[in-house]
Amino acid sequence: MKIMVTGGCGFIGSAVCRHLVRDLGIDVVNIDKLTYAASEGSTAEIAGSPRYSFYKVDICERDAVLKVMQEEGIDAVMHLAAESHVDRSIDGPGEFIQTNIIGTFALLQAARSYHAGLPEPKKSGFRFHHVSTDEVFGDLPLDGGLFIEETPYKPSSPYSASKAASDHLAMAWHHTYGLPVVLSNCSNNYGPYHFPEKLVPLMIINGLEGKSLPVYGTGENVRDWLHVEDHARALALVVTRGRVGQSYNIGGRNERSNLKVVETIADTLDELVPLNTGSRRKLITFVGDRPGHDLRYAIDATKIETELGWRARETFDTGLRKTIDWYMNNGDWWQPLRASRYTGQRLGTAKP
């Protein structure tokens, strides 16, 4: 089997590439534009494998994408390439419209052309897996409720609106043109190779350096946290065993407030590398809230758990400890990224 992964040099995309090649022995064709948040270093572990190949291609370039599909003989597409930072979508929504909507449209058109020309049984076995976010559903009250696959869409930010649009496009191409689409919506990811502007790595790195730990508003906003390697395992199951035309919610069942996340990072760093100045909790500062900041996200993962047999292996505590250890031991990956491409104090969270 040969799978095309779009955005495979990004945080979640690279985890998918590593899992497919290293753990499952699946051939991977990675296409990535290499924007600011992408790093070829994230796939260095598999770069020398005969099962892995890379093309620097923009998903908006339909003909270029189609050419790769045809030359490589792709069996499935896992579409993760996206602009994903909510703050950046508020500051400059145009790139999100271009990549997440126009790019998905171009990719769907390329896949449609490619699929139409396939012989059987390759044609009936082809899959287009569109990877999305729980943010398309809007938010939930603090005192209850979970997102299910049938939850109505109610996006709040330019980012989530652009992802909602791309979800609808993917399913429309299935219903109208017969493209065999599967869809997944995930909760907040964390783990290794996470771009340094996002909440968890930013707090880890700032904490290591004894810098301020900025938290939006009062820090009460709650997210369901999913380790990126658990997510990669789930995505591999969806693309290989998911039912065509279906969507699958993927969550870690690990709800934490943003403040609790930052406090846990501070406490763990205090245990591992104490500061002479005392507890890192003293570094926590509260900053003006993000416009339209959703209150709570929480995923009901019952469908993928029962239908595909997936379970998250990491609790938030075990996964976060592994993540902190990784950042402490891999400064050679994140330090150049932060020095060359990132100078702000953004507080985002990772979604496809």
From the CB of residue 223, how many other CB atoms can be counted at a distance below 10 Å? 23
What whole-number distance in Å separates Cα of residue 234 and Cα of residue 202? 26
Q: Are 147 and 134 in contact (CB under 8 A)?
A: yes
**Catalytic residue flag (residue 27):** no
CB 30 within 8 A of CB 17: yes
The question of whether 143 is a catalytic residue gets the answer no
CA distance 72 to 51: 12
Report the sign of the C-alpha dihedral through residues 301, 197, 100, 90, in that order.
Answer: positive
Catalytic residue (choose from 27, 87, 135, 139): 135
Determine the Cα–Cα distance for residues 106 and 65; give it in Å rounded to an integer: 9
For residue 35, what are its two tokens? 């924007």
Q: What is the CB-side half-sphere exposure of residue 31 using CA atoms within 13 A?
A: 22
Q: Which of 52, 114, 159, 327 is catalytic?
A: 159
* Alpha-carbon gap, residue 131 to 186, rounded angstroms: 8
Distance of alpha carbon 24 from its chain centroid, rounded?
20
Pair 147, 137: CB distance under 8 Å: yes
Query: In this structure, are residues 206 and 287 in contact, taking their beta carbons and an 8 Å threshold?
Result: no
User: Tell me, what DSSP letter sits at residue 40?
Assistant: G
Question: How many of the other CB atoms lie within 10 Å of CB of 252?
Answer: 28
Beta-carbon contacts of residue 136 (< 8 Å; ≥ 6 apart): 153, 154, 155, 160, 163, 164, 167, 185
Q: Are 283 and 209 in contact (CB under 8 A)?
A: no
Active site residue 45: no
Q: Which of 58, 83, 134, 139 is catalytic?
A: 134
Catalytic residues: 134-135, 159
